């Protein structure tokens, strides 16, 4: 990859950009996010979730950076068995512990405990008017969990869960980040883009230590994915949501830092092997 520093309109798992001429059809047949969502029978939020999960893959972006979706990709999605019902079922979400618990026949307190202990991973979040985090869960995953582990829906918690509850553990931000990073990494094999994903969830000091070269840090910042779909724009809410994007527990920070070091070594080695110059 030739290293350049340029802004990106859409990250690997970010929301489809709706700027420019999203409903227009390019000469190659590709369309913008709004038209693609309409052709697949999805709302904007459903379509964004489908892109996030890799169900719908973005094609070559427009000159202004807006995401485009190839005609062949839309045809591929429409050709799946049970379309459009199966597609909607894969992206359907439920918000909060009350509604999520009712879906699988348990109360909100038990659902919160299961989620805090890492049995159920959120797929997204929103910040309500009280600046509280409301976690979103995939409906299909909740039903699969209930069918797979019915014993956790009743009775007392396992010993490990009791220990985590006593310690005040809440794994929801961590399990969300794990999913988010995994989806982003699954979109690219480019080592510099992968390094940018890993750097985006680390505290700034960790990134400075891992990447002492300012030019490399500029490249990683340029390649960093944007906040995920649903990330608030209102400053007070954005401040709360921003904390969800950074790893906090020391062992989690260590895992991402180790992964970043390994990925950067590969990226730098690739430059040497191809004879390309590093970032300048």
Q: What is the pLDDT of residues 71-95, one digit of tens each?
A: 999 999 999 999 999 999 999 999 9
In terms of Cβ atoms closer than 10 Å to its own Cβ (0-12, 13-18, 19+), residue 53 is: middle
Q: State mean pLDDT over 180-196.
A: 95
Query: Does residue 8 have a pLDDT over 80?
Result: no
Query: Does residue 17 have a pLDDT over 90?
Result: no
Cα–Cα distance, 247 to 260 (Å, whole number): 13
What pTM did the predictor assign?
Answer: 0.85
Cα–Cα distance, 60 to 65 (Å, whole number): 9
Query: Does residue 1 have a pLDDT over 70?
Result: no
4: number of Cβ within 10 Å: 9
* pLDDT, tens digit, 9 for 90 and up, residues 222-277: 999 999 988 999 999 999 999 999 999 999 999 999 999 999 999 998 776 665 55
Mean predicted lDDT score pLDDT of the chain:
89
166: confidence class by pLDDT, cuts 50, 70, 90: very high
pLDDT at 24: 61
Lowest mean pLDDT among 5-9, 67-71, 147-151, 209-213: 5-9
Query: Does residue 62 have a pLDDT over 60?
Result: yes
* pLDDT, tens digit, 9 for 90 and up, residues 99-131: 999 999 999 999 999 999 999 999 999 999 999
Q: Show the tokens assigned to 28.
A: 């190659």
Counted residue by residue, the chain has a size of 280
268: number of Cβ within 10 Å: 16
Decide: 240 and 125 in contact? Cβ < 8 Å.
no
* pLDDT, tens digit, 9 for 90 and up, residues 18-34: 443 444 666 668 999 99
pLDDT above 70 coverage of the chain, percent: 86
pLDDT at 9: 37
If one compares 195 and 6, the residue with the highest pLDDT of the two is 195
If one compares 62 and 119, the residue with the highest pLDDT of the two is 119
pLDDT above 90 coverage of the chain, percent: 79
Cα–Cα distance, 262 to 256 (Å, whole number): 10
Query: Does residue 36 have a pLDDT over 50?
Result: yes
């Amino acid at each position: 990859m030739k290293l350049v520093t340029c802004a990106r309109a859409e990250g690997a798992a970010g929301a489809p950009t709706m700027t420019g001429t999203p409903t227009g059809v390019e000469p190659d047949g590709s369309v913008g996010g709004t038209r693609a969502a309409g052709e697949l029978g999805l709302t904007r939020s459903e379509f964004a979730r489908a892109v996030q999960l890799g169900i719908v893959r973005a094609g070559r972006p427009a000159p202004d950076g807006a995401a485009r979706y190839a005609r062949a990709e839309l045809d591929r999605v429409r050709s799946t068995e049970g379309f459009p019902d199966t597609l909607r079922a894969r992206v359907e979400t439920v918000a909060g512990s009350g509604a999520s618990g009712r879906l699988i026949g348990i109360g909100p307190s038990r659902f919160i405990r299961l989620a805090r202990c890492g049995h159920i991973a959120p797929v997204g979040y929103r910040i309500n008017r009280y600046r509280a985090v409301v976690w979103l869960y995939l409906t299909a995953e909740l039903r699969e969990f209930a069918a797979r582990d019915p014993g956790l829906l009743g009775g007392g918690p396992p010993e490990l869960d009791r220990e985590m509850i006593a310690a005040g553990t809440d794994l929801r931000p961590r399990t969300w980040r794990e999913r988010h990073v995994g989806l982003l990494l699954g979109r690219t094999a480019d080592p510099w883009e992968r390094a940018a994903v890993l750097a985006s969830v680390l505290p700034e000091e960790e990134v400075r230590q891992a990447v002492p070269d300012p030019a490399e840090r500029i490249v990683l910042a340029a390649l960093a994915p944007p906040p995920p779909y649903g990330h608030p724009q209102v400053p007070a809410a954005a401040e709360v949501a921003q904390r969800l994007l950074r790893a906090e527990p020391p062992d989690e920070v260590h895992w991402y830092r180790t992964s970043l070091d390994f990925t950067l070594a590969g990226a730098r080695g690739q430059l040497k092997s191809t004879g390309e110059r590093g970032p300048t």
